[in-house]
Amino acid sequence: MKKIIGVIILCAVFVILGVLFFGQDSSSKKGHIYFNEGFTKAQVEKINKADKDAKLKYNTKYKVKGVFDLEGIDATYVRDVDGDTIVVKIGNKEEKVRFLMMDTPETVKTGTPIEPYGIQAKEFVKSKLSEGDSIKLVSGKNTTDKYGRYLAYVYYKSGDKWYNLNEELIANGLARIAYVYEKKNPLLKDLYNAQDSAKEQKLNIWSINGYVTDKGYDLNAVAN
């Protein structure tokens, strides 16, 4: 009996020590970054601080041009999922829509920590779209991705004009151009002009040297 009680007490001590040591310092309340993901305690703290301190800066030099007439699929905005993914209703069916030719830092991907400026990208989308808003979706050659999400440029209306939200995210340094499968897409030039403007001003994701890569976002640039 004494041995059993001793084992129980010992286990309780280990649990308490684990909570005190790992529960507070090894993970971010927002980002869920753990030591076993290859980062030291000091690096984790640095990543968490960068995520918390990331401040949104707007591009005042580049203006996305609105259009009066736009052909596209009519949809109704339902909610956001991430900076580059939203849920819409087309007719009576809800669909997930992945913004075409761009990528924002992760905020909800399983096994991936919240990346700096991911929350800001998500909030930017929410500042432009409200539940029930009428939007238009303009697709390329591929209408869906391997996850079954609808691929599209997302347009919202302000006044009498429609504005490309993909381009606005890129222009404000909240997304990088990515997954370019249509080299001759007529909208691609505008996206690159928007990205060049954001890079030149070192806005948001471009303010951290080495953070943006061809494959995504490198947390080592933040941690080191």
Residue 212's nearest CA partner among 197, 200, 222 is 222
Query: Is beta strand 150-158 parallel, antiparallel or unpaired with respect to 93-99?
Result: parallel
Catalytic site includes residue 149 = yes
Token digits of residue 39: 């980062």
Catalytic site includes residue 106 = yes
Task: Give CA–CA dist 144/25, Å, rounded.
Answer: 40
Q: Which of 106, 115, 167, 168 is catalytic?
A: 106
pLDDT in tens, the chain (224 residues): 555 544 444 444 444 434 333 343 333 344 444 444 667 777 777 777 777 777 889 999 999 999 999 999 999 999 999 999 999 999 999 999 999 999 999 888 776 678 899 999 999 999 999 999 999 999 877 788 888 898 999 999 999 999 999 999 999 999 999 998 877 788 899 999 999 999 999 999 999 999 999 999 998 888 88
Catalytic site includes residue 79 = no
User: Do residues 98 and 151 touch, judged by C-beta distance below 8 A?
Assistant: yes
